Chains A and B, each alone.
Chain A
Amino acid sequence: MTPQERLDAHVREVVSWHFSEETGSPFWLDWARGAGWNPAKEVQCFEDLKRFPHFQDEWLRDEPNERWVPRAYQGRPYYVFETGGTTGMPKQRIGWNDHFYDYEEFSETLDDEFFPKGGNWLMLGPTGPRRLRLCIEHLAHVRGGVCYHVDLDPRWVKRLIADRDGASANKYKDHVVEQGATLLKNRKISCLFTTPKLLEALDEKLNVPDAGIKGVFCGGTQMTPQNVRFLVEEVLDNRAQFVPTYGNTLMGLACSRPLTSADNWSITYYAPQPRAVLRVVDPDDTDRTVGHGEWGRVELSTLTKEFFMPRFLERDEAVRREPWGRYEWDGVGEVRPFGALSTTTIEGVY
Chain B
Amino acid sequence: MSIPEIPVLRQGRVYESLQKNEIKSVRTGETVAVVHQANAGLLRRDMRRIGEARRALRALPIARLLAISAQAGDLFMGGTLPLGAGAQSADEYMSQLSETSGLPYALIRRNMAKIHQVFTEMPTILKGLTRGMDLGVVDCGSGEQAGVPVSYYATTDALGVVLPSNSPGVNSLWMPAVVLKIPVVLKPGREEPWTPFRIIQAFIAAGCPPEAFSFYGTDHEGSGAVMDTCGRALIFGDEATVQRYAGNPGVQVHGPGRSKILIGKDEIERWPEFVDLIVASIVDNGGRSCVNASAVVVPAHADEIADAVARKLAAIGPRPAADATAQISGFANPKMAEFIDGAIEKDLAVPGAHDITARYRTGPRKVLLDGCTYLLPTVVRCRSFDHPLANREFLFPYASVVEMPQEKILDTIGPSLVVTAITHDPGFTDQVVGSPHVERLNLGSLPTTRVQWDQPHEGNLFEFLYRRRAIQRAA
A residues near B (Cβ < 8 Å) are 166, 197, 200, 203-204, 224-227, 229-231, 234-235, 264-265
Contact = CB atoms under 8 A, between A and B. Distances in A.
Contacts of A224: 18-19, 39
Nearest to B20: A226
A264 B250 CA distance: 38
Given A230-B39, A230-B41, 12 more contacts: A166-B224, A203-B41, A203-B45, A204-B44, A204-B45, A204-B48, A224-B18, A224-B19, A224-B39, A226-B17, A226-B39, A234-B45
Nearest to B48: A204
A234 B224 contact: no
B18 A264 contact: yes
B129 to A, nearest CB: 32
A230 B42 contact: yes
B379 to A, nearest CB: 37
A265 B41 CA distance: 17
Interface residues of chain A: helix, strand, loop or mixed (majority): helix
B314 to A, nearest CB: 38
B113 to A, nearest CB: 38
B37 interface: yes
Nearest 8 pairs between A and B by C-beta? Answer: A200-B41, A226-B19, A226-B18, A225-B18, A230-B42, A226-B17, A226-B39, A227-B39
23 contacts: A197-B41, A200-B41, A203-B41, A203-B45, A204-B44, A204-B45, A204-B48, A224-B19, A226-B18, A226-B19, A226-B37, A226-B39, A227-B39, A229-B18, A230-B39, A230-B41, A230-B42, A231-B41, A234-B42, A234-B45, A235-B41, A264-B18, A265-B18
Interface of B: 17-19, 37, 39, 41-42, 44-45, 48, 224
Contacts of B37: 226
Contacts of A234: 42, 45
Interface residues of chain B: helix, strand, loop or mixed (majority): mixed
Nearest to A264: B18
A264 B48 CA distance: 27
A200 B44 contact: yes
Nearest to A233: B42
A93 B45 CA distance: 39
Contacts of B42: 230, 234
Contacts of A204: 44-45, 48
B70 to A, nearest CB: 38
A136 to B, nearest CB: 23
Nearest to B244: A164
A256 to B, nearest CB: 16
Of A197, A200, A225, most buried by chain B (CB within 10 Å of CB) is A200
B46 to A, nearest CB: 10
A262 B45 CA distance: 25
A336 to B, nearest CB: 12
Contacts of A166: 224
Contacts of B41: 197, 200, 203, 227, 230-231, 235
A265 B45 CA distance: 20
Given A166-B224, A230-B39, A225 B45 contact: no
